[in-house]
A and B are shown apart, each in its own frame.
Chain A
Amino acid sequence: MSNEATTQHEIHHHDSHAHDAHEHHEHAHHEHKQHFFTKYVFSMDHKIISRQFLVMGMFWAIAGGLMSVFFRLQLGFPDKTFAILSNFLGEWARGGKLDPEMYYGLVTIHGTVLVFFVLTAGLSGTFSNFLIPLQIGARDMASPFLNMLSFWFFAIASVIMFSSLFVTTGPASGGWTTYPPLSALKEASIGSGLGMDLWLVSMALFVVSSLLGGLNYIVTVLNMRTKGMSMTRMPLTIWAFLFTAVLGVLSFPVLLSAAVLLLFDRHAGTSFYLSEIFIAGKALPNVGGSAILYQHLFRFLGHPEVYIIMLPAMGIASEVLSTHSRKPIFGYFAMILSLIGITVLAFLVWAHHMFVTGMSPFLGGVFVLLTLLIAIPSAVKVFNWLTTIFRGNIRFTPAMMFAIGFVSLFISGGLTGLFLGNSALDIHLHDTYFVVAHFHIVMGISAFFGMFAGVYHWFPKMYGRFMNNTLGYIHFFLTFIGAYVIFWPMHYEGVSGMPRRYYEYTNWESFKQFGELNQMISIAAIIVFFAQLLFVFNYFVSVWKGRKVTDPNPWKANSLEWTTPILPGHGNWDGPIPEVYRWAYDYKDNGEGGDYIPQNVPLREGEADDHH
């Protein structure tokens, strides 16, 4: 079996299914004697790699969150100075007043790292790595080595991005979308100097990381499922990770090409994106390029990226809602079909970010139609989640709270997409706070909720301990209420036309009336930021001090990861990999008073495999 062969040289003697458990036990001792570096740093164990992604993601979430606190201070209190700003930012906040250049730098890096480093690498990287082998019944990824490289490319990308914060001319400051010519010309903005080069190199390396990971996930899911694990018996998490990887593999290369062409324009004198520009007192020689070309290339990734972020959260929510409602997920096949629908449509809607670039109105019309189509699979998913908890027997674990919060946020944020996807409304709402509210709720906060649900749910499998529940609930309530307090009023500002990415609004007759509101939002944002530190605190304290897990299946769930030992070693199962006889959501009377039947339990006498 390829499943076994690939990991053979790392896990000694796991060479056949019919392996004697006792014999294995002796060898297990050798594994634990791995050097610290090979075990925790350059590890090829998917479980360690997933934790590396998670911890790196947390680092970036705190850094990115702190940046948002800084620029929210400016937005909420444009006439005040803050010592903390000059402490952190030095010359960029002389006398405690944030410099506009740095304001835009913070906005840019906040967007970039949260979208790519936290919600792509930290979410999909963590859970695809952790759950794919465990839930499909494999000992590791198809290529543990590429998997390790995937993390280390991400780590290098992280170091470069972080270092860009410290260069004299500041980090990239053209917004996370870095549209040229602003991002292409040093004369246009000082952030478009060295900071922008570092941004581009970092993103290029990130694309490499993402491709290595994505290919690995796809190959693993397709080839390394255990006996009996047909595609339609897989948990929805795995389906979600599979399509996430497909989206990434097909769209990230386009971002790479956009970045490479931009580097050429910056340093090789080409004119891919530049034409007829007069800047810094002189006319540039570039003619014939198109600034809009970059937007097409960027958005060809940029939109699928939204689903790269959302699909894993959807998968996790499906799994958590079903497990803690003690009910099968409703409409399993409809869930898969809607994932497929979203994946296909994700590639056909990118230009809805560009309705007001002056593109052909007919083309705009086509993209309106395709964009609103994507509401259908999304609606199906929401109704199926609601029906999943309908007449359930709900345990409100912290994971479940976050999964419910996820659905609420996804409903709120998804519906505002119908405004923005309709070009005749977008022509007013584009680039206003309505957009900020929309995407923060639907792909920012709700994806975070999916991620939190996943961490609380699988923490016992990761560390053999529980996170503290009470802190988990406090974290939930602060974050859920805080998220709505921050982002709900922004819709109103956007409907009033208040533009995003403004350093201050005090001089605008049309927008200055929102000053008091912006203050309130800033205060809420700071509180929510500290609530996240509570989560991080809970996480690290629980790693060492958490209540120990005693039951290998603490949530009484059906999927295969709960058939492993409490703290699985490299190779996941001590004995042979379990065989699968039923789908992942057999929450029903097991004939002995229980309400669930794990996937590895053979069908009972006369029991029909009713779904699959």
Chain B
Amino acid sequence: MSGLLLVALVALIFVVLYQVARSSEMVARIQGEEIFDKKRNKLLAYSMLVLMVSFFAGIYACHRYMMPLMAPEAASDHGKQYDFMFLVTLAVTGAVFVLCQILLFWFAFKYQRKGEKVPFHFAHSTKLELVWTTIPAIAMAVLVAIGLKAWFTMTSEAPKGSMQIEIIGKQFNWISRYPGPDGVLGKRYFTNINDKDNILGLDWKDPKNMDDIIVPNGELRLVKGKPVELLIGSRDVIHDVGLSHFRLKMDAVPGITSRLWFTPIITTEEMKKITGNEKFVYELSCDQMCGKGHYSMRAVIVVETQEEHDAWLAKQQSYYAQNHQPEAPKVETPAADAPKAEGPKADSAKSITMNIK
């Protein structure tokens, strides 16, 4: 019923608009096309000014509304670099944007038709064209220079002594693996995978695997001030490790290990104070379309102090031990301070676990 009403309403609006449009053409014929056109042209020229003013007013209003909703300051050192670069690029493009938009609307208004005069003949000027080829070229050179400097820092080799964590995507959740006391992640291969007791396909012939810790909900526990290198992979389709608070992301591609390193600089607790939001939590989002549960592929990131991290680590049992000592008590994963890490909502999590079992 409401659908029918809606259709009727839209049809009515169309008819009204059409009648207005037709009558305006009738008016034109009665007034004489030329006078009417002249009037309308003038009106439209002024509309250009109105558009310009409302354009910038709209941008300002939008900015005012959006700023309180934006993500907090960057929580990683690379993110700081990103934020700086963003501001530089915004300054450069913002200046060009304001200048060009004002010129466009102002010219359109200013040079509205005024009778049958022959306009200024100006078809070419080598000097001007050289100027506005060179200036963008210089601006681009600056942006490229800053950009590449940041890019090569972000993508450089991880510093020695970085913490290594493996993060693997699958439809539709993340799995993380920590190296355990030996500090080394053991070998894994996809043919070893089974969803019962070897979700990442660890090779049990590799002794380095014996102490590896697997967190099946992909929780990442990072240490403030300590560089971390993520080894990123996928079990099935392409996913993407999106770390929006850290201003970073990297694809997870089956058959390939991609790497990403950074240093977290603000703990979760500190961020709660900064944002004034008690429920604040760093989230890892899947940023590459991966199927129908893409939107719910979430994991929690905890940034903590070294002591908190060590305490957490001490409570963890290796994945091997969990699955090969039937009498050992099952460890509840993960830590208590991230209770909701599994799935955002029970029913949506259930509906998307098509391949987990």
Contact = CB atoms under 8 A, between A and B. Distances in A.
A356 interface: yes
B204 interface: no
B250 to A, nearest CB: 5
A488 interface: yes
B85 A424 contact: yes
B291 to A, nearest CB: 5
Contacts of A534: 14, 17
> Which range holds the interface residue count of chain B?
35 or more
A489 B284 CA distance: 23
A188 B280 contact: no
A182 B291 contact: yes
Contacts of B156: 361
Given A365-B152, A372-B143, A83 B3 contact: yes
A471 B17 contact: yes
A91 interface: no
A44 interface: no
B21 A468 contact: yes
Given A283-B190, A488-B62, A392 B251 contact: no
B256 A277 contact: no
Contacts of B118: 326, 393, 588-589, 595
A597 to B, nearest CB: 11
A488 B133 CA distance: 28
A563 interface: no
A302 to B, nearest CB: 15
A331 B100 contact: no
Contacts of B274: none
Contacts of B111: 325, 389-394
A291 interface: yes
B101 A508 contact: no
Interface in B258-315: 258-259, 279-281, 283, 285-296, 298
Contacts of A274: 254
B251 A356 contact: yes
B129 A278 contact: no
Contacts of A380: 129, 132-133, 136
A369 B144 contact: yes
Contacts of B71: 495-497, 510
A456 to B, nearest CB: 14
Interface residues of A, number: 135
B101 A411 contact: yes
A372 B121 contact: no
A520 B357 CA distance: 40
Interface stretch (A57-65, A208-216, A426-434, A569-577): A426-434
A611 interface: yes
Given A182-B238, A393-B111, A418-B93, A189 B244 contact: no
Nearest to B123: A328
A611 B17 CA distance: 46
Contact of A283 (B6, B97, B193, B256): B193
Given A188-B236, A396-B41, A412-B97, A368 B147 contact: yes
B234 to A, nearest CB: 8
Contacts of B53: none
Given A396-B41, A595-B119, A375 B140 contact: yes
30 contacts: A100-B295, A179-B238, A179-B288, A180-B237, A188-B237, A283-B190, A291-B254, A327-B122, A328-B121, A329-B123, A330-B122, A332-B124, A361-B151, A364-B155, A389-B107, A393-B111, A396-B40, A396-B108, A411-B97, A419-B86, A424-B82, A424-B85, A427-B82, A473-B44, A497-B242, A498-B244, A505-B295, A508-B298, A509-B280, A510-B71
Interface of B: 2-3, 6, 10, 13-14, 17-18, 20-22, 24-25, 40-41, 44-45, 47-48, 51, 54-55, 58-59, 62, 65-66, 69-71, 79, 81-82, 85-86, 89, 92-93, 96-97, 100-101, 103-105, 107-108, 111-114, 116-125, 128-129, 132-133, 136-137, 140, 143-144, 147-148, 150-152, 154-156, 170-171, 189-191, 193, 195, 201, 232, 235-238, 240, 242, 244-245, 247-251, 253-256, 258-259, 279-281, 283, 285-296, 298, 344-345, 348, 352, 355, 357
Interface of A: 83-84, 87, 100-101, 104, 173-175, 179-182, 185, 187-190, 274-281, 283, 287, 289-292, 325-334, 356-358, 361, 364-365, 368-369, 372-373, 375-376, 379-380, 382-384, 386-387, 389-396, 401, 404, 407-408, 411-412, 415-416, 418-419, 422-425, 427-428, 430-432, 468-471, 473-474, 477, 480-481, 484-485, 488-489, 492, 495-499, 501-511, 513-514, 517, 530, 533-534, 537-538, 541, 547, 585, 587-589, 593, 595, 611
